[in-house]
Structure 1
Amino acid sequence: MLTKYTDAVVVYASEYGLKIVAAVAIFYIGKIVVKRVTNVFKRLMNKAHVDDTLVKFLGNLIYFSLLIVVILASLNALGVNTTSFLAVFGAASLAVGLALKDSLSNIGAAVIVIIFRPFDVGDAVDVAGVHGMVEEINLFSTTIITPDNKIVMIPNSAVIASNIVNYSKKPTRRIEHKLLIDYGDNLKVAKDVLMKLMQDEEKVLAEPAPFVAVSELGDNGVELVLRVWVNNADYWDVYFAILEEAKLAFDENKISVPFPQMDVTIKNKN
């Protein structure tokens, strides 16, 4: 009788022993690999200065998604038919996806922002018709502070769907002004005055060199365009300074700035 049970144990052990060992090994090793992959992903996002909330959420999402794959692989090695599990999991995923499609689209858009990095926190941008500085990128929206200190929250799906202009991505920017002078003024003197004030401005970069030229012979006067390159941080200081210095220099050199005028004639019927 004892021999009968012993033989049964040997048969079951020989049949399922290796499967159990393989399943445990797949689960144990897979869990280690999943944890390391998740940690690598978190480190990459932290280096990219991604919001901590988003790092934790995506880290957990990746961890549990990969862990489910490892568990299914372990069950499959054990000889369990995982087809029914996959069917139930797929149906549940579809139901959740339909119920949360808008929220998931924002999360997906956040992932795209992380991968392609069109902007970072602290960048000056134009996004979805809003101009300002990026304060935060979270799971569902991007927060922007406008120049007049308003907080605007834009859904991430709208961010990806719109044109994105990033003013902070490059270290330098070009300033361009268009100024009118009267047809009766000395064009060469006006150009020399503008070139000198650009060269005297210490925040203006020497390369690319400042540029001034006639851009249009308009109805009200001669239009001059001037262009200078500055470091990104100096953009607005130089932008306003050049306008003020140009007006003062024009006044000093008797160069007039024309503007549209209308002559009105009053007729006396008597």
Structure 2
Amino acid sequence: MDETLLTQLPAIILQNLVPFAWKIVGAVVLWIIGGWIIKSVKLLSRRGMDARGFDATLIEYLESAIGMSMRVLLVIAILSLFGVETASFAAIIAAAGVAIGMAWSGLLANFAAGVFLILLRPLRVGDFIAAAGITGTVHEIGMFATTIDQPDNVRTVVGNNKLFADNIVNFSSNDFRRVDLTAQLAHGVDPLNAISLLKARVAQIPNVMDKPAPDVEILEFNPAGVKLVVRPYCHTDDYWQVYFDTNKAILEIATQAGWPAAVPHQVLIQK
């Protein structure tokens, strides 16, 4: 190796590698500080919106939008640290946005649907819904997708556009809902007496509402006998507790009254 090059090597390293290393260190520090600032801004914005009584769904959505926007600005700041022109980078982002928008139109559709979900409010965070083939509690409404926790504690992410385009059944919108059950009576059991016994027992179940009172009526006549419909009313949060307790109440009354097992009867006529 040339002696001149050897003598110039430390100067070359100091002139090129050291500044680049300092830029990397600066980028790491900027990323850490920027992340802390973003987290703080999100926390302050959430506290401010909570203090002003903003809806929880709107808070989650705005917090997500603020965090994403600030992350983009942080990346631009880091790239400018390495000498990338901000204007050029903005043009690249715009061009990339057009290309991505054309290729991933579904992403923009999800974003637009998210805006409508926030404005029209067919559902909110904490609501128990059925939509897009999923039933569960709304955990978060994001910019592009909504997170739903199913009753078996499985978290599912559904695109906002698919959710908004489907029928949304919101079980939490009204103050109460109805539990639908049936009780099959055998032939020979007095249905009117059974109705009286079941009405009195179902009304004693915890969390069953007094108004409207539980419905116990004749639903149909079938080969096994008379089928009753048993319909107590309760708050959505108490649905499954009332559902199972009502089944137990039906069994309890049937056992105490000595009702026989309901089996289909067939009459064979031989000619």
Instruction: Name the TM tier (shorter chain).
Output: 0.5 to 0.7
Matched, 1:249 2:253: yes
Deviation at 1:244, TM superposition (A): 0.4
Larger Rg computed on CA atoms: 1
Which residue number in structure 2 is paired with residue 232 of structure 1? 236
Q: Pick from 127, 145, 159: which aligns with 1:141?
A: 145
Q: Given residue 229 of structure 2, which amino acid in structure 1 is its aligned partner?
A: V
Post-superposition Cα deviations, 1:164-204, rounded to whole Å, max 9, x if no partner, equal 11111112111121111012112222111111102222422
Cα distance in 2 for residues equivalent to 1:211 and 1:201:
14
Q: What runs of 5+ residues in structure 1 fail to find an aligned partner?
A: 1-38, 63-89, 263-270
Which residue number in structure 1 is paired with residue 109 of structure 2? 105
The percent identity for this pair of structures is 30
Post-superposition Cα deviations, 1:108-132, rounded to whole Å, max 9, x if no partner, equal 0101110111111111111211111
Matched, 1:126 2:130: yes
Q: Given residue 129 of structure 1, which amino acid in structure 2 is its aligned partner?
A: G
Sort the Cα spacing of 1:241 and 1:92 in 2 relative to 1 into closer, same or farther, 3 A.
closer
Question: After superposition, where does 1:56-205 map in structure 2 within 5 Å?
Answer: 56=63, 97-205=101-209
Cα distance in 2 for residues equivalent to 1:147 and 1:233:
12
Which residue number in structure 1 is paired with residue 62 of structure 2? 55
Sort the Cα spacing of 1:194 and 1:93 in 2 relative to 1 into closer, same or farther, 3 A.
same
Sort the Cα spacing of 1:156 and 1:190 in 2 relative to 1 into closer, same or farther, 3 A.
same
Q: Given residue 49 of structure 1, which amino acid in structure 2 is its aligned partner?
A: A
Sort the Cα spacing of 1:213 and 1:58 in 2 relative to 1 into closer, same or farther, 3 A.
same
Native 8 Å contact 2:206 2:242 kept in 1? no
Q: Given residue 258 of structure 1, which amino acid in structure 2 is its aligned partner?
A: A
Sort the Cα spacing of 1:180 and 1:57 in 2 relative to 1 into closer, same or farther, 3 A.
closer
Cα distance in 2 for residues equivalent to 1:206 and 1:53:
37
Sort the Cα spacing of 1:50 and 1:202 in 2 relative to 1 into closer, same or farther, 3 A.
closer
Normalising to structure 1: TM-score of the pair?
0.63
Which residue number in structure 2 is paired with residue 29 of structure 1? none
Cα distance in 1 for residues equivalent to 2:240 and 2:99:
51
Q: What runs of 5+ residues in structure 2 fail to find an aligned partner?
A: 1-44, 70-93, 267-271
Which residue number in structure 2 is paired with residue 73 of structure 1? none
Post-superposition Cα deviations, 1:192-240, rounded to whole Å, max 9, x if no partner, equal 1111102222422111122211110012221101222222222221111
Sort the Cα spacing of 1:245 and 1:57 in 2 relative to 1 into closer, same or farther, 3 A.
closer
Native 8 Å contact 1:53 1:139 kept in 2? no
Question: After superposition, where does 1:26-41 map in structure 2 within 5 Å?
Answer: none
Cα distance in 2 for residues equivalent to 1:215 and 1:57:
50
Cα distance in 1 for residues equivalent to 2:170 and 2:210:
24
Sort the Cα spacing of 1:108 and 1:135 in 2 relative to 1 into closer, same or farther, 3 A.
same
Deviation at 1:61, TM superposition (A): 11
Sort the Cα spacing of 1:59 and 1:196 in 2 relative to 1 into closer, same or farther, 3 A.
same
Deviation at 1:143, TM superposition (A): 1.0
Cα distance in 1 for residues equivalent to 2:181 and 2:212:
16
Sort the Cα spacing of 1:248 and 1:110 in 2 relative to 1 into closer, same or farther, 3 A.
same
Q: Pick from 212, 215, 218: which aligns with 1:211?
A: 215
Cα distance in 1 for residues equivalent to 2:97 and 2:53:
29
Count, aligned residues: 196
Cα distance in 1 for residues equivalent to 2:155 and 2:67:
29
Q: CA RMSD in A?
A: 3.1
